Structure 1
Amino acid sequence: MKTLLKKFLFASLVMCGSFLAASATANAAEYYMAPNGNDNNPGTLSAPFASIAKAQSVASSGDTVMLLGGVYKNFSIGASDSNYNYVNNITKSGITYRAYTSKNVPIFDFSNITPTKRVAAFRIASGVSNVTFLSIQVTGVKVGTQKQSECFRIEGNATFNQVVCHDTEANGFYFVNHGTGTCIKCDAYNNIGPTSSSIGNTDGFGAHGDGVTFQYCRSWHNSDDGYDCLTSRGSNTFDHCWAYNMTAGGDSNGFKIGGYGTGTPPSTIPVHTVKYCLSANNAAHGFYANHQPGQSATWTYNTAYNNAAGNFDMLERVSPTNATDIPGTREIVHNNIAFTRAAIINSNLPAANVSNNSWNKSGVTVSSADFQSLDATQMTKARGTNGVLPTITFMHLTDSSDLKGLGCF
């Protein structure tokens, strides 16, 4: 009898939980925005809002703001502090901002915002969590005489899926302070700082917070680095990401992973993960440990091509308290391919840490005959359905290559 009662109570709890979950979903609301909307409207499909600020003011956690296609250009400053003007200041958790249809992607053009301070086109404030952006573009963000601006400044927690930041003077995705989140199938390209101070502060993706995951993302022709982990307190993961043609005058690395500059490292030095990534034709390094005072990353199944300062640079520092640069002794580097330019530099790694790579695997050689194509411009081709990476032949191995099992393809 007790067993039957327990089963009944358990079943009742499961049904109650399912009902509550269904009720929460059923109660979630949808609001609509359009370039020709009006904030005096009720936010319906036929009478949409005009601004993120208005949509956020009425939405609650679990709700979705549908963004109709077209170009959004009529912005005002949502909030400011001593350094920044925040145009769209996201202060509520749990809200999704997404394109109403993938066939007509909304474009947020901030070229009308004068950069009297640093500009953050979108800021996810500290303490805000579970904010999602899906299938939008950001362009036109200016920097003026400031040191930097940002398309997305993430101090809280956010997920970006198929979001593109392009043709701006600003960082694309900038996770900072305790910022965390995920970028999936996102692109950042042609983001160029126009002045001597901003050109070296304009990255495609910046992971400077408490840990970010990047999957299937691309960064090309940004004026500083493709991906930058400087001062990160958390471990970051780069999985199937591409970096190409960072040649506009800044640091110009594809993947700059690690380092603290003159800042104080955290008590526990994070170790990052870089796997199945592709870095090509950058003016500096393809994959760079960047003076990490400890192990910067585990680097596996990556492919590097024609990066001017070296394809893999494992430069470390002695320790958090000794900033002397040394050839890396702690990196883990396996199953990678490097072709054209130096394969690996600043490396004093033990054999167990750096095995089965194209430059030291017994019995293999690397030549152009190993690859179906050496045309790196293929990396910028249009994405496929649902934002998948484009189908390319660049750096894919030929059937006869003895490098099979190495690299990202």
Structure 2
Amino acid sequence: MKNLIKKFILSLIVFGASLLTPVFAHAAEYYMSPIGNDNNSGSINSPFASISKAQAVASYGDTVFIMGGTYKNFNIASSDNTYNYVNNITKSGITYRAFSSSDIPVFDFSTVPTNKRVAAFHIAKGVTDVTIATIDVTGVKVGNQKQSECFRVEGNALLYEVTCHDTEANGFYFVNNGTGYCTKCDAYNNIGATKFSIGNTDGFGAHGNGVVFQYCRSWNNSDDGFDCLTSKGTNTFDHCWAFNMNAGGDSNGFKIGGYASGTPYDPVPVHTVYACLAANNKAHGFYANHQPGQSAYWYNNTAYNNRGGNFDMLERVSINDPTDIPGTREIVHNNLSFNGIAIKDSNLPSKNVISNSWNIEGITVTASDFQSLDISELTKKRDYTNSDELIPDVKFMHLVNGSDLKGLGCF
């Protein structure tokens, strides 16, 4: 059953090439360095200093190699009434990637002014096939604004091995018609600076026209780990982790669905949450979040110690009736819950809730079923030099040999 589900998930991911071993095709190569100069030629021995300059000379299919070191002297490329766009990507088909996976470039935005919201990287509307790979983003400030964003994607982008951490901003924010992929990305310690912004600072936000998240981690962000409120497209969450959301906002692990006071899209998108982990979050682990219809297919997920409930299937009656109801349409199979309310706000028919740890006769989940309950393992540093590592190897919530929970959960 689990292999069939895996094939189903992979069939949803239509990108042309495997995201696990991406191919960065290029027609020409340019280089940039923290000690470069935008008057240089952009060669490996004469690198540029900025993405703006590299983009100006690059064309579709080209690659910009980013040398190691810290980039912190930024000009604002573009502004509107709301945002300062620091790196404004307006050309399609260009790849921006680390020159070496053993020397990760760091982009530090701590000196960028906050007279407007900050978008450290902006993929503009209509821009497609942009790849950004193996960089570290930090220091984005929010000031008194409602929110800022490390990545604001309004076009189409593949973000691969990108980390957003220790900022006051959303990590990865897909909005409007934004689409794309986040693969092997991390967002952590992103905490709004004021009461106003704390509740708007997620690790990953899928509010656009459909995003695939694979092997991504989100922890200690001040709102939610993964949030797809108001999404008009279908989102897929595949082997992702959300844990330790306890910093003051909504604090859900996976908030999958909902439109708040906005008008729901018709038809309402149905998302997929497969082989994901939600642990030690102040609110819900996996949350249907008032979806006016089915929120998701929930397959082979693991939930641990989420204080608002490990699985919460709260729905609304319909797109025309916002009355909250216990969920009746969610599909919940092969999930594992330990140390928390297994499932709540659920009025699901039995055919929709099959082979979960809480409804298999004779099954009792205890600490002895797991190799480790040490949640600190989940913050293990990634090894970008190991292309075979999809997500860090841990023992947390992995089943011991002989456990009768085999086949359940994400490990």
- TM-score normalized with structure 2 length: 0.93
State how 1:2-401 maps to structure 2 within 5 Å. 28-384=27-383, 385-386=386-387, 388-401=390-403
Paired residue type of 2:253: G
State the match for 1:404 in structure 2: 406
Helix, strand or coil at the partner of 1:285: coil
Paired residue type of 1:399: N
Larger fraction in helix: 1
Deviation of the 1:400 alpha carbon = 2.3
Runs of 4+ in 1 over 6 A off after TM superposition: none
Deviation of the 1:194 alpha carbon = 1.3
- Give structure 1 stretches of 5+ with no counterpart: 1-24
Contact 2:26 2:63 in 1 (8 A): no
Deviation of the 1:28 alpha carbon = 0.7
Deviation of the 1:362 alpha carbon = 1.6
Deviation of the 1:114 alpha carbon = 1.3
Distance (whole Å) between structure 2 residues aligned to residue 394 and residue 197 of structure 1? 34
Distance (whole Å) between structure 2 residues aligned to residue 33 and residue 60 of structure 1? 16
Deviation of the 1:388 alpha carbon = 2.5
Question: What is the CA deviation profile of residues 32-89 of structure 1, one whole-angstrom value per residue up to 9, with x for unaligned ones?
Answer: 0000100000001111000110000000000000000000001011111111000000
Helix, strand or coil at the partner of 2:53: helix
Paired residue type of 2:405: L
Distance (whole Å) between structure 1 residues aligned to residue 392 and residue 78 of structure 2? 38
Distance (whole Å) between structure 2 residues aligned to residue 367 and residue 194 of structure 1? 39
Deviation of the 1:146 alpha carbon = 0.2
How high is the sequence identity, in percent, across the aligned residues?
70
- The farther-off stretch of 380-389 and 40-49 is 380-389
Distance (whole Å) between structure 2 residues aligned to residue 53 and residue 392 of structure 1? 39
Distance (whole Å) between structure 2 residues aligned to residue 181 and residue 159 of structure 1? 6
Deviation of the 1:27 alpha carbon = 7.7
Distance (whole Å) between structure 2 residues aligned to residue 315 and residue 376 of structure 1? 27
Distance (whole Å) between structure 2 residues aligned to residue 111 and residue 158 of structure 1? 24
Deviation of the 1:376 alpha carbon = 1.0
State the match for 1:15 in structure 2: none
Deviation of the 1:267 alpha carbon = 1.4
Helix, strand or coil at the partner of 2:376: helix
Helix, strand or coil at the partner of 1:50: coil
State the match for 2:20 in structure 1: none
Contact 2:25 2:61 in 1 (8 A): no
Helix, strand or coil at the partner of 1:235: coil
Deviation of the 1:90 alpha carbon = 0.3
State the match for 1:7 in structure 2: none
Distance (whole Å) between structure 1 residues aligned to residue 307 and residue 87 of structure 2? 39
Helix, strand or coil at the partner of 1:322: coil
Paired residue type of 1:145: N
Distance (whole Å) between structure 2 residues aligned to residue 379 and residue 279 of structure 1? 11
- Give structure 2 stretches of 5+ with no counterpart: 1-23
Question: What is the CA deviation profile of residues 335-382 of structure 1, one whole-angstrom value per residue up to 9, with x for unaligned ones?
Answer: 000000100000000000011000001221111111111111111101
State the match for 2:9 in structure 1: none
Paired residue type of 2:59: S
- TM-score normalized with structure 1 length: 0.93
Paired residue type of 1:32: Y
